[in-house]
Chains A and B, each alone.
Chain A
Amino acid sequence: MKKLIITIMLFFTVYCFNTAYAALELEIVGGQDIGYPIAVSDFASQTNPQVAKDLSAIVRNDLMFSGKFSPLSPSRMPQQASDRNQLKLDLWRELVNAVAVGNLETVGDKFKLTVQLVEVAGGDVIISKAITFGRSQLRTAAHTVSNQIYEAIIHERGAFLTKIAYVSVKHGQQYPYQLVVADYDGYNEQVILRSREPIMSPTWDPKDTRIAYVSFESRHPAIFIQNYKTKQRIKVAQFNGINGSPVFSPDGSRMAMVLSKDGNPEIYVLDIAAKTLHRITNNRVIDTEPSWDPSGNYLYFTSERGGRPQIYRVSVNNPNDVTRVTWDNVANLDPVVAPNGRSIAFVSRVENSYRIATQDLDTKYMMVLTNNKFDESPSFAPNGSMIIYATMVRGKKSLALVSADGRFQANLPSSSGAVSAPAWSPFFR
């Protein structure tokens, strides 16, 4: 398949959105032409044509970013149209399966965007929606349209209104280590914590806007929970030795973590409200990197108990119930369970390279998705469609995306600093 390298520097084209700043840029490295063929025509507007055009560009970018669509480039569009009646379907049939058209009006101090999605073959209107929004909500409005299109065509929930948390490191600054929350596409970056010492392993509460992470600010690691909206922060663990790998249970009431207070790294489960700690693993080698399955009954984790690190599953209620999950390749580490619970993504060591892989939990079928050398920290989008992870892009720690089937791949090179440890948020209500 033809590999295209397209760098999209959206912050040049949407210069008018002065509150939005993206330090991450999307760079598609594979699978750009494999998705559902769609056209998002430039939205029309009597009063704010540039804003309308920018909104349609965000929608096109979202759909491409999802890996499930191949949006037609505006330069290849045979006509301009702002609603269904203006569309000459014959012109589009060779090009795409569906066309989105839209019109932006001003209503008081707000915008109203009317969007229709038209199936080219039969001319059916699949979506016809109007949304009203404030001038500071342009990106939210565009992502809302993207979600509607995604859901109509793909029949699963779109993740365009979700967030990512990650760690940014800028050596040489007073506070080199920063914990950042941004829109899923890298816009609207918000630093929520900065420190002279490392910050690790951010992870979201699946039911809330809370993030847990490890901070070395006291020169020893401690696990904190911080609400990125209210800024409230509590320390939940600071024992002797390692305090690492925090991960909330699916209902947000418990947290699995790794502590070495009893001698070597073991997995524990903390009941957050009751403040009680339960030891899950107990042996003389490293056990780390727990991830809950959606039932909350099992943890998948990395263990050296078989020699090299491999992935195992343990029952939280019966810690003697342990099964080995991965068998292929030299080593497999850092599992994360897919939102539907049917597969895991993890880091697989292939000779001397560390790559993102998945394994189906029923069939045991394992698939290496990436072809890099230094991949780590996989995290699923809440709809399971994509995996975000950290890797090296041209010698710099950066984020990257791969679709869960491995076909679509994109880099998110950072325009400043080294970026790692991405964590994709849940859907927010």
Chain B
Amino acid sequence: MKKLLMLFVSVMALSTLTACDSTNSARIEEGGDIDSSLIDDSGVITVDSNYTDNYNLSAADRQKFEALKQDNMIYFAYDSDRIAPQYEGLIQAHATFLRNHPEITVIIEGHTDERGTPEYNVALGERRAKSVALYMQNLGVAAAQMSIVSYGEEKPLDLGMTEEAFAKNRRAVLSY
């Protein structure tokens, strides 16, 4: 039988948005050679991502939380990181919940459409994520509850190559 041993990577410690890591040395894992048990019979390294939430919430709060997880996308105009007025209510709802639950953390994802180069799009996507994070911070969400990640064009919602598909992909996602 095929042995499938997986590397469960813990979600990295979430830290403040205002980057304060100004040390001049990179963090490099000592002895970071991968354990041979992580390699399956075919020699492939498989990395898994394990992130179900373990928050202890009341039934009512759990219901509210699950509903927020379903309504978590902010779409952007081409080449823009400006939050359109129709998303203010959505962000407000998430911000209120986060203010009431300081133990909950959110990852704000930034995404772009397929046009342009992948790494440049990562830089552009980060602007969208930061724009949402700043908005949430202004609504009173603690910086320590938020982290941002930009995927650029790597995780499109719509795989089409039409203007309509591109518009769906230019987004920020509030991800728990």
Chain A residues in contact with chain B, CB under 8 A? 171, 175, 190-198, 200-201, 215-221, 226, 231-242, 244-245, 258, 260-265, 270, 275-279, 286, 288-289, 302, 309, 333-334, 347, 349, 352, 354, 374, 376-377, 392, 395, 418, 420-421
Task: Find out whether the CB atom of B47 lies under 8 angstroms from the CB atom of A374.
Answer: no
Q: Is the CB of B120 within 8 A of A302?
A: yes
Q: Is the CB of B119 within 8 A of A258?
A: yes
A238 CB to closest chain B CB (Å) equals: 7
**Besides the contacts A240-B19, A421-B118, what 5 more A-B pairs have beta carbons closer than 8 Å?**
A220-B12, A237-B27, A260-B19, A277-B26, A334-B120
> Is the CB–CB distance between A236 and B123 below 8 Å?
no
Chain A residues whose CB sits within 8 angstroms of the CB of B150 once the complex forms: 242
Question: Which B residues from 1 to 43 make CB contacts under 8 A with A?
Answer: 7, 9-12, 15-16, 19, 21-22, 24-29, 32-34, 36, 39, 42-43
- Contact assessment for B115 and A263 in the assembled complex, using a CB-CB cutoff below 8 Å: no
**Contacts of B24 on A, CB cut-off 8 Å?**
276-279
B161 CB within 8 Å of chain A = yes
Least Cβ–Cβ distance between B112 and chain A, in angstroms: 12
Could you tell me the distance between the alpha carbons of A395 and B151 in the complex, rounded to whole angstroms? 21
Q: What is B's interface to A at a CB cutoff of 8 Å?
A: 7, 9-12, 15-16, 19, 21-22, 24-29, 32-34, 36, 39, 42-49, 51, 107, 114-120, 122-124, 126, 147-152, 154-155, 159, 161, 175
B115–A276 contact, CB under 8 A?
Answer: no
Assess whether B119 is in contact with A275, with CB atoms less than 8 Å apart.
Answer: no
For residue B12, which residues in chain A have a CB less than 8 angstroms away from its CB?
Answer: 218-220, 238
Which 4 pairs show the lowest CB-CB distances between chains A and B? A234-B32, A198-B154, A217-B47, A334-B117
- Taking a contact as CB atoms under 8 Å apart, the answer to whether B119 and A334 are in contact is yes
| B36 cross-chain contacts in A, Cβ below 8 A | 231
Assess whether B154 is in contact with A241, with CB atoms less than 8 Å apart: no
Distance A270 CA – B24 CA, assembled complex (angstroms): 10
Complex contact A235–B47 (CB within 8 A): no
Chain A residues with CB under 8 Å of B51's CB are 219
- Closest chain A residue to B28, Cβ basis: A275
Closest chain B residue, CB of each to CB of A255: B26
Residue among B21, B33, B45, B117 facing the most chain A CB atoms (10 A cut-off): B117
CA separation between A221 and B110, bound complex, in Å?
13
Q: Count chain B CB atoms within 10 A of each CB in A198, A219, A354 and give the residue with the most.
A: A219
Closest A residue to B44 using CB positions: A191
